Amino acid sequence: MSFGLKLSQNATIDQLREVWRTADDGGFDSCWVMDHFATLGPHDDGPIFEAWAMLAAMAQLTTRTRLGCAVVGNTYRHPGVLAKMAVTVDHLSGGRLDFGIGTGWAENEHAMLGLDFGTRAERADRLDESLEIIRSLWTEPRTTFEGTHYRLRDAVAEPKPVQQPHPPIWVGGSGPRRTLRTAARHADVWNAAGGSPEEVAASSAILDEHCARLGRDPAEIRRSVQLRASSDGLAGLPGTVASYAAVGVTDVILIVAGEDPVATARRVAELLPELRGLG
């Protein structure tokens, strides 16, 4: 199994740096941020930093661990801009970027920034178009695209990614009809949108069905979850990880939480050998 460490950007810069160092020095396979412009929970006006600027900084501070955002909200940025940002981080990190993306769901952030939120179906359509555009920009000399939501004409995108043909694509979300179909088309890794092991297993089976309809081997797509690792719940973490491993999850992102996320990250690092044994 693969294990990542994640601290959301409503922490301080010093805390973020220390968690990134812990991920790099402590043997984690990956390190993650999130993509929001307002804090989550009952209060939306706390401090929060931008995801791609954080990933560029992480690329320079770390030397070994892979890095990514679980997951980028597609609706916040034009796919041409997003493709360029991702390639920049891929080069800064020497080819260590995992590219996580989802439809976007925080309606309040769209309202405050004047961004079109649209319906769930429209956001799913936009994600499909974006991934088609981004993959073309990463792999083709020029890209022309005429879609419902995006239009590109003879677009260049140089340099190409360090990773060939492109960074691994993580598609986040569990919408059974659209998001999981998008994952079947484009994803190297599917990131479940929460849920119990039984719910993740059910969504994973739907993903398999979409793969069958598209003629893709479902074994090509790894399955991942994000789990909260709070300081008062670490004793039960191995059992929780084991329950997800039993339903086919191969990649676990551990979200460190609590008043002292740095201390929690270090305690999770001490548990890492035991967690690896579960796979």
Residue 174 burial (10 A CB sphere; 0-12, 13-18, 19+) = buried
For the chain, the DSSP string reads -EEEEE--TTS-HHHHHHHHHHHHHTT-SEEEE---SS--SS---S----HHHHHHHHHHH-SSSEEEETTEEGGGS-HHHHHHHHHHHHHHTTS-EEEEEE----HHHHHHHT-----HHHHHHHHHHHHHHHHHHHHSS-EEEE-SS-EEEEE---SPPSSSS-PPEEEE---TTTHHHHHHHH-SEEE--S--HHHHHHHHHHHHHHHHHHT--GGGSEEEEEEEE-TTSGGGHHHHHHHHHTTT--EEEEEE-SS-HHHHHHHHHHHHHHHHHT-
User: Would you state the pLDDT for residue 41?
Assistant: 85
Q: What is the mean pLDDT of each run of 10 residues along the chain (279 residues)?
A: 91 96 98 95 91 98 98 98 98 98 96 96 97 98 98 98 98 96 98 95 98 98 95 91 97 92 96 91
Domain with residue 58: its CATH number is: 3.20.20.30
Q: Within 13 Å and on the Cβ side, how many CA atoms surround 181?
A: 10
Token pair belonging to 227: 């789990």
User: Would you state the pLDDT for residue 8?
Assistant: 84
Domain range spanning residue 99?
Answer: 2-277
Number of domains in the chain: 1
